[in-house]
Each structure stands twice: as C-alpha cells, then as structure tokens.
Chain A
Amino acid sequence: MIGAAPVAAVFFDGHTAQRHPVFVTVSRDGRGLMIDAQGPGGTPMLWPLDRLRSLADQARSDSLTLTLHSDTEDETPRDPARLVIEDPALQAWLRLSAPSLKKRDVRRGTATRILGRFALAVVSIGIIVFVLLPRMSDFLANRMPLETEIQFGDAVVNQMERFLGGRAGSLLCTDPQGNAALDRLVTRLTEGQEMAYDLKVSVLDHPMVNAFAAPGGRVVILRGLLDKSDTPGEVAAVLAHEIGHVEARDPTRLMLRAAGSAGIVSIVLGDVSGGTVIGILGDQLLQTSYTRAAEAQADAFAMAMLNRAAISSEGFGAFFDKLAEMDQIEIPEYFSSHPSSADRAERAKENARNQGVTKPALSEADWAALKTVCAP
C-alpha cells in the first residue's frame, strides 16, 4: 500500500460529532497512516501502525473502525478519535501490517486492582459477620420481647426435629414417668433461684450425643446423651450447662446472628427471596457455635448451680472424660467449639473435691424412668 493512491475515509475527531471526510495514505516509511482532510486546510495527522486498534465484536464486516492506543482516563486506554475505513484493500493491508490491531490493552496494575477489590469485599463481609453482626445481635437479644423469644424457641425446636429427620413434634419422647423425673431434676437444679425464663426441657428420640438450648427457655436433650450417661449426675451437669446458656440468652443471640448471616449469604448466592435463610439457620443450630467465653461462662454457671443443689460435679467430670475419649475417635461438631474436654473435666473434678456433702441427682427409680423416657 505504500505509495498507493489516497483512500477516502471518515474521521471523527473525538471532540465534536462532526463527520470529517478524509484521505488516508500509508506513510512513506510504511509505519503509519497519514490522515489528511479532504478539501483545503488542516495539517495531516500521523497514526502509527503499532498504536492502531480495531473495535472488537463488530457487526459490520465491510468497514473497519480504528482507534489509537493512548493513555487516557477512559474505561479503556484509547483515544476518543475514530477512523472508519470502508476501502477493502486498505482494510486487508491493515489487518496484515498493523501488529496490535486486535490487542486488548490492559492498564498496568489491573490485576492488583482486581485482587484489591476482591480482598476488600471479603474483608468487609468478614467485618460484618464477625464484628458488626454479633454486636447488633447482643444489643437486640437483650431487648427482645419474651413472647417473641418463646415463639422463636418453639420454631427452632420444630426445625431441629426436621433436621434430625422427623416431622415437627414426632421425635418428642413422651413417657410420663420419664418426663416427670426430668421435671424433678430441673426443679432440683433451679430450686430457690430467680430464673429469667420458665424452663421447658424435653428429650428428642435421636442417637446423637447432644443437647442444646433454644431461645425462650427451651432446653432439648437428645436420647444419645441419656444412653451415654452412666449416672444422673452427668445429665444434671449437661442440663445445668444448657440452662447457663439459656439464662445468658446465648441462643437468642446466636439466632439473630444466624439470621443476619443468612441475609448475606442470600445475596451472595443471588437468592433475595430468603429461601436460603431458613436452610442456613438449621445448619447453624446444629453447630451451635457459641463463643468460648460463652461456654466458659455456662460451665461456671453450671458448677455454681450444681453446688447450690448439692449435686456432685463428679458427673460433669465423668462426662467430659467420655467426651475426651470420643474426641480421639470423632469430634462431634457440637463439642468442637467448646474448650478442651480434658481441661473442663479437670476443672469439674477440682470443684468436686471442694464440694461438701452431696446427694445423687435423681433417685434410682427416677433415673431408670429417665433412661427409658423415649421407650414407646
């Protein structure tokens, strides 16, 4: 094309919407395009071939729109001027001769920018989940009306049953003698104390070794825990621990936090309707990940409760010993967030040595009845 006749083209200067008819020739050294106004006046422009870029994904194959690589502030580093060439021969020559015609120019530091933005997103969500939400949950938990909490607790227990593979109410162990024995144990533990909630303790028929506190004064024991316990003192200890959580409003706090996290997950997964919210809540519940501080507090509360009720904390120790054994085989998620079982067993035994005269937590008959509370 060097030395060929000037080719008519259209030039847009990037400053006005004026259409400039121009003549384009290849520069004498073959390394650029000379753009010359048709008609009188104007100085010719030189567009170097190596800075030429064509627009991508264009519909029209009969024309070629060129831009110039340039360090502008725009979304892409391109000069706002455009040169539209319809001449097939010049198009063909440019496609062969302009080395970076199809190059996508990426600004320096783009990768850093992407990483930075990703990091910022992750960090902000982390701050929300781990700092903001817990604070707000604490604030709101202390102000929640009691009826709402009770309603909430019922919903949580129902949901838990569904998670354990039953329908709402279907897993509840209903043996009257067993439940009476359980009530006596609760009375024994709470006697003469001012409780914030009317406690409602129930047993669900499931082999998992677990117990959890739900909002509004509900405590649920899973049958596996009764099976695993050798003395009523062990059950009394776990019960006292869960009552500790109830009194500290830990479950309500956790619920609020889970609901907030679920809101976040729903947007990240692109489901704004809130369907995911329910799913996540159940999962969070099974894990009942209270903070270590909350666990230690519940332990201290349980110890004091046992002391007042004159029940030996030996049972507490024995139960933790069992957990420590289980730790080596499998770590149930529920217990994984708790302080090390061995440490807790040690503390319970220490407490037991300083206890005065203690009485068994339940009579032989009541203990037998509690053990079979889920028997049909």
Chain B
Amino acid sequence: MSLNSGGIVRYSGQSGPIFKLAFVTGLLTLITAGIYRFWAKTRMRKYIWSSVSIDGDAFEYTGTGLEKLLGFLIAIVFLAVYLAGVQLILTFLGLGVMMQPGNELAIIASVYISFFAIVPFLLFAVYRARRYKLARTRLRGIRFGMDNAAWGYAWRAIGHYLLTGITLGALLPRQTFYLEKYMTDRSYYGDAKFEQGGRWQGLYAALKHVLIGLAIMILGAIVGGVMNAEALIGIAVFVGYFWFMIGFVYYRVHAYAYLANHKTLDGQVTFTATPSTAEIIKIVLVGGIVLGVVAAIAFGVLGGVVYGMAASGGMGMGMGPNIAQIVPIVILYLLILIGLGALGVVMITHPIIGHLATNLKVNNAEALGAVRQRAYDKGADAEGFADALDIGGAI
C-alpha cells in the first residue's frame, strides 16, 4: 500500500505562531520564576517537530514538561553532592577560595579545576539530552531511540578534545566524525538502526576555508614582517580572521552535510543533504542585524522614558525613585528581553531549521514502512543534567 513518494522533507513552521508561542511561554517562565521553562521548551519542541514532515507525515514530540522538571531535580541533587566534594577537596589543597591578592595563581587554578571537574558531566549531558530528544520523537507513530551510553561518549569526547588540542586543531575532523559516529551508531528509528558511514578524512574538504583563513593570516604576517609593512599585517589579519570565522560556519554546515549523506537507516534508507553555507550565513547575519536594531530601538525608548521621568522631577533632588515608577520600567525591561528572545527564535533558529529540513531528502523512503515499534524509554532524568548545567539553548 505504500506510495512511491520520494521522501520529500517539508517545513511548515510560520514566524507568527512561533513568535507568539515563544513570547507567551517566555512570559509564563518569568511569572513562575523559571519553573515553567521545562514546559516552555516542551511546547516549542512540539511546534517545531510538527513543522517538519516527510512525505506529509509530520514528526511528533512527546516529551513532557513534568518529566523534565523531575529530571532536573535529580540532576541538581547529584551535581550538588559532586560539587560539594570538589570544593571541599580544592579547599583542602589550599586552592579553594584563596581570595587574597597575590594569590591569583591559586584563584585561576581553582576556577579551572572547578570547570574541568564539570566537563565530564557536560559531555554526559550532551549525550543524555540527545538521547532524550530522540526517545521523545515519533514519526508515523513509531519512536526514535538511542542506547544508554552517555559515559562512553563523555570519555571519548575528552580524549578527542585532548587530541584535537594537542594537534592544534589538525584532527578536528576526526573528532567531529567519531563523536557523531558514536551517537549515530547508537540511534534507532523503531527497530531500524542508524549507521554512520564515510571516513573521517572526508571532512577535510569541509575545513578548507578555515585553512585558507589561517593561511592568509600567517602569510600576511610573514610577508608583512619581512617587508616591514604594518598595514599589510593588519589587513591580512583582518581578512584572514573574517575568512576563518566564515570558514568555520562553512565547516559546520558541510560537516553536517557529509555526515548526513553517509548515514544509513537499516542499511536501506539513505539521506541527501544539500544545505547552503551562504544561506545560513545570510540568516545569521540578517537575523543578528534585525535583533540588534530592534534591541537598540526598544532599549533606547525605554532609556528615554526613564530619562524623561527623572527630568520631570519624579526622581529629583534627594528623593529616591519610588516603587510605582520602578516597577513598570522593570516589567517593560523584562518584556523587551522576552520579546528579543522570541525574535531570536523567529529570525535565526526557525529559518535555519527550515533551511536544513527543506534541503534534506530521504532516499528509498518507502522502506520505512517495514519498521516496527521499539520499547518505551523511561529516560529517568530526561535531560536534567543539560538543564542543570544550562546547555542546549531554547530548543
């Protein structure tokens, strides 16, 4: 009965409803002192997921705010115990809270140690968050899922980071490839297993503009140094740095495409991703400019109101500003922040997801019909660690 339909991915998200949803949930989050954020995230995901469809069948997000809150509580307790221990031992070693001047080294050391003590949990959280997201995603009523292997990911990631660091970034493609492969090879749609094919060396092509940017900076500095032309060095570094940053976006986009094009599902279904770096950069730049302008206007108006109130004598000579004047200003300020957050989703997140979705094609999609349901993943702490450590963003 299956139609030979070609695996067309569509995106039907619309700016208006997304802004409304982001703004309303942001407002509720503010009113509830942050507790609603678990539900806010859930509702945003429900909307975004349902905007993406393959051959007309929309994705469904089935996560709940409640399980996120409960998971967050677990993670908080766990991390509290851990951090208490870390601080105690740091203090014992005389590094903990050395706040006297002249002991900057100890302060720096303790901040770094505290941070690095958290890193394994950050990476653990990255994997757990992805597993939770997949476990709560359905297509045609069938669950996605991922194996329980977060610690394996954390240790491997640390190893890759060290290797990439030691080689000054030369092995970044290797890191990108193997970390994605680790996650992909443990992902499922129903009873069908994903597999990451390809070679890590295949990602070097995506790195080319990063290398060109670096080369411009280095060559410019050398040539300029030999010729004793400071202007040349300046221009080279500026151009090279700009090229480098754009090159990094290019890397991320093309690495994503390479990895997507070499994924298979159940050995039968493949993907064709053709995202455009120029399009993504355009979205980010235009979105950034619009956000900046709107923020400037909004805060400018707010500043003008405050100034006007001060000048009209309401806050004059010796009298402190009174509550009746401060409260509306603070509320206005918070409303602007929420509005800007919602605008950021509308101007940047939503168009990027739209671009990636519409430039993805599922090959041999009719084979999906044979996939069978997988068991429900309880996912005890949802993405609590990611929430507690504040990673993962709005969606």
Interface residues of A (CB under 8 A from B): 10, 12-21, 39, 55-60, 63, 65, 72-76, 78, 80-82, 84, 110, 113-114, 117-118, 120-121, 124-125, 128-129, 132-133, 136-137, 140, 143-145, 147-148, 151-152, 154-155, 158-159, 168, 255-256, 259-264, 266-268, 270, 272-274, 277-278, 281
10 pairs, CB–CB < 8 Å, chain A vs chain B: A59-B58, A63-B58, A65-B58, A80-B138, A147-B94, A263-B85, A267-B80, A267-B83, A270-B390, A274-B87
In whole angstroms, what is the CA distance A154 to B373 when docked? 65
Question: Quick one: which of B324-371 are within 8 Å of A by CB?
Answer: 368-371
Given A59-B51, A76-B62, A128-B84, are A17 and B369 neighbors across the interface (CB < 8 Å)? Answer: yes
Residues in B with CB closer than 8 Å to A262 are: 87, 97
Residues in B with CB closer than 8 Å to A277 are: 87, 96-97
Interface string of B355-395 (1 = CB under 8 A from A): 00000000000001111110010000000000011100000
Cβ-defined contact, A19 with B62, below 8 A? no
Cβ-defined contact, A21 with B84, below 8 A? no
B99 at the interface (CB under 8 A from A): yes
B2 at the interface (CB under 8 A from A): yes
Max chain B CB contacts within 10 Å: which of A21, A60, A129?
A: A60
B103 at the interface (CB under 8 A from A): yes
Cβ-defined contact, B114 with A274, below 8 A? yes
Interface string of B110-133 (1 = CB under 8 A from A): 110011001000000000000000
In whole angstroms, what is the CA distance A160 to B204 when docked? 56
In whole angstroms, what is the CA distance A57 to B45 when docked? 9
Cβ-defined contact, A114 with B12, below 8 A? no
Please tell me which stretch of B63-71, B177-185, B223-231, B243-251 contacts chain A, meaning at least 4 of its Cβ atoms lie within 8 angstroms of it.
Answer: B63-71
From B50, B136, B189, A57 is in contact (CB under 8 Å) with B50
B31 at the interface (CB under 8 A from A): no
Interface residues of B (CB under 8 A from A): 1-3, 12-14, 17, 21, 43, 46-48, 50-51, 57-58, 60, 62-64, 66-67, 69-70, 73-74, 76-77, 79-81, 83-94, 96-101, 103, 110-111, 114-115, 118, 136, 138-143, 189-190, 368-373, 376, 388-390
In whole angstroms, what is the CA distance A60 to B60 when docked? 12
Given A59-B13, A65-B60, A151-B98, are A264 and B376 neighbors across the interface (CB < 8 Å)? Answer: no
In whole angstroms, what is the CA distance A137 to B85 when docked? 10
Chain A residue at minimum C-beta to C-beta distance from B91: A259
Residues in A with CB closer than 8 Å to B190 are: 16-17
Chain A residue at minimum C-beta to C-beta distance from B70: A117
Cβ-defined contact, B141 with A59, below 8 A? no
Residues in B with CB closer than 8 Å to A147 are: 94
In whole angstroms, what is the CA distance A155 to B97 when docked? 8
Residues in B with CB closer than 8 Å to A154 are: 100
Cβ-defined contact, B97 with A259, below 8 A? yes
Cβ-defined contact, B77 with A260, below 8 A? no
Given A17-B369, A56-B43, A260-B88, are A125 and B13 neighbors across the interface (CB < 8 Å)? Answer: no
Given A12-B140, A57-B50, are A75 and B84 neighbors across the interface (CB < 8 Å)? Answer: no
In whole angstroms, what is the CA distance A152 to B98 when docked? 7
Cβ-defined contact, A140 with B79, below 8 A? no
Cβ-defined contact, A155 with B88, below 8 A? no
Chain B residue at minimum C-beta to C-beta distance from A266: B83
Cβ-defined contact, A110 with B66, below 8 A? yes
In whole angstroms, what is the CA distance A129 to B80 when docked? 10
Residues in A with CB closer than 8 Å to B43 are: 56-57
Max chain A CB contacts within 10 Å: which of B67, B74, B140, B370?
A: B140
CB distance from A93 to the nearest CB of B (A): 22
Residues in A with CB closer than 8 Å to B118 are: 272
Max chain A CB contacts within 10 Å: which of B2, B14, B99?
A: B99
Residues in A with CB closer than 8 Å to B372 are: 15-17
Chain A residue at minimum C-beta to C-beta distance from B42: A57
Residues in A with CB closer than 8 Å to B79 are: 267
18 new A-B contacts at CB < 8 Å, known A59-B13, A65-B60, A263-B87: A10-B57, A12-B57, A20-B1, A57-B46, A58-B47, A63-B58, A72-B376, A73-B376, A74-B376, A128-B81, A144-B92, A151-B94, A154-B100, A264-B81, A267-B79, A272-B115, A274-B110, A281-B97
Cβ-defined contact, A259 with B96, below 8 A? yes
In whole angstroms, what is the CA distance A59 to B84 when docked? 44
Residues in A with CB closer than 8 Å to B88 are: 133, 136-137, 140, 256, 259-260, 263
In whole angstroms, what is the CA distance A10 to B369 when docked? 13
Residues in A with CB closer than 8 Å to B47 are: 57-59
Given A125-B80, A151-B94, are A75 and B87 neighbors across the interface (CB < 8 Å)? Answer: no
CB distance from A204 to the nearest CB of B (A): 16
In whole angstroms, what is the CA distance A57 to B20 when docked? 11
Cβ-defined contact, A268 with B140, below 8 A? no
Chain A residue at minimum C-beta to C-beta distance from B53: A60
Cβ-defined contact, A18 with B1, below 8 A? yes
In whole angstroms, what is the CA distance A318 to B20 when docked? 70
Residues in A with CB closer than 8 Å to B142 are: 12, 14, 16-17
Which 6 residue pairs of A and B lie closest in terms of their CB atoms, listed nearest first? A263-B87, A12-B141, A148-B94, A263-B83, A59-B51, A259-B91
Chain A residue at minimum C-beta to C-beta distance from B98: A155
Chain B residue at minimum C-beta to C-beta distance from A280: B97
Residues in B with CB closer than 8 Å to A132 are: 81, 84
